[in-house]
Chain A
């Protein structure tokens, strides 16, 4: 659409109501300035969309945070946020990358452990994993009222704990 007063394209479009009559006004930039209208600020679409995109990203991240749950112990990130205490070692991987931010901000930006490592051998780990598995079986057996099985597991656990010959 062209300007009401010349052939240049109109940039200001107004409906002026005067004495009960309405009238459309279309003005080019020169005539708009002359008539005292503020010129519309041109805003490229690209400026708006990245912002919309980042809002969506933040929302997605927040909803991911809210729904994050540790498969091993069942702790949710929301509960962790309240208690500041994790449920089990697997939580550290389950709540990445949120946990990374928590640690790094508490540790003055440090990102990796540089200190000592455990000295325990593979055999200790094997026996310990076995003990843990048996313990879980024992709890399950008690919950399911399988008392004979529970008694057996208890004996096995005792045997595991007694010093080997």
Chain B
């Protein structure tokens, strides 16, 4: 985890021009235990022991040769908890809440299990680009392995029981983080959001539930979990909805470039100039400029690798920045200065590398 970048967030994959990451998350509860809101700390500890035992028994040697790391968040340093949340491996709420809770994490950081979040288990697979189908298979392979040594709460009518009754049934949440600068320029974002709601999709910001959208990044996820098979839900989201969203954004980008080419070039090159010259930089300002540069890179305007932009998008976040240079923790000004210096150096290197 102390590696500066190995997470899915800083890589690229299929359709990375639009799709930043894909994730499948399964909500499960262990039968015989109350849900988290009614579970005392000793009960939560017991749930953690049951899960850890299942993880140790089932996840070693199958798909996860090196097993999974076990991180107990209530005793983890605050920086580690923030690192996990910046990598989108845990929710901000989970990083900051109280009580016994843990994260089991595979060495490549693709597979993970949040223990004692809203549900006893949130089994997830997160990867770069549009790979929902792979994420789906991987999440279920982990879930199956765990089901061999523990029993999940299941109701003949409602399916997998979840603490929030609106997640019952398959207990599956498929999501894709999309970069939509084209739609934003063409002022189509609100229309896309409305269409998504009609299709029973949730649209969230950069850090999921309750977060703001920064730099035109939006997270789309399914809301329906009941009355259809898991495969049908995947087919609908991955086979129909997502390709349409991707196609729509690409069309918007082409239209935007045809109509406002100079203005877009101005925005993209100013962002590059800004980040190449700034001496003080906040995380939000850096994210906004990197988002504009990302648009320039995928449209062929800027000769920089997309992986460089993706990596920087993660590294400008406060906890990741402190891994690069711990002096960023000294003061607000130091944080801004370290960020500006690092981004400047990296952009200089990234541009010369591709020449």
Contacts and interface: CB of A to CB of B under 8 A. Distances in A.
Interface of A: 72-75, 83-89, 91-92, 99, 102-103, 106-120, 124-125, 128-129, 131-132, 135, 138-139, 142, 161, 163
B349 interface: no
A135 B30 CA distance: 14
Contacts of B159: 113, 115
B151 A107 contact: no
B228 A110 contact: yes
Interface stretch (B77-85, B105-113, B160-168, B268-276): B160-168
Interface in B291-320: none
Contacts of A117: 154
Q: Is the interface of B mostly helix, strand, loop or mixed?
A: loop
Interface of B: 29-35, 37-38, 40, 42-43, 46, 49-50, 53, 57, 118, 144, 147-161, 163-166, 168-170, 172, 200, 223-230
Contact of A113 (B40, B53, B153, B169): B169
Given A108-B200, A119-B148, A120-B147, A87 B38 contact: yes
B297 to A, nearest CB: 39
Contacts of A111: 157, 226-227
A106 B166 contact: yes
B209 to A, nearest CB: 13
B165 A113 contact: no
Contact of A116 (B34, B161, B230): B230
Contacts of B32: 128-129, 131-132
A128 B170 CA distance: 22
Nearest to A132: B32
Do most interface residues of chain A lie in helix, strand or loop, or is the interface mixed? loop
Nearest to A79: B37
Given A92-B165, A115-B159, A131 B50 contact: yes
B166 A107 contact: yes
Contacts of B229: 114-116
A163 B50 CA distance: 13
Contact of B228 (A115, A120, A161): A115
Nearest to B154: A118
Given A86-B163, A113-B169, A116-B230, A73 B34 contact: yes
B111 to A, nearest CB: 19
Contact of B157 (A112, A115, A129, A139): A112
Shortest beta-carbon contacts, A-B, top 4: A110-B227, A113-B159, A132-B32, A106-B166
A88 B38 contact: yes
B147 A86 contact: no
Contact of B37 (A87, A89, A135, A161): A87
A103 B165 contact: yes
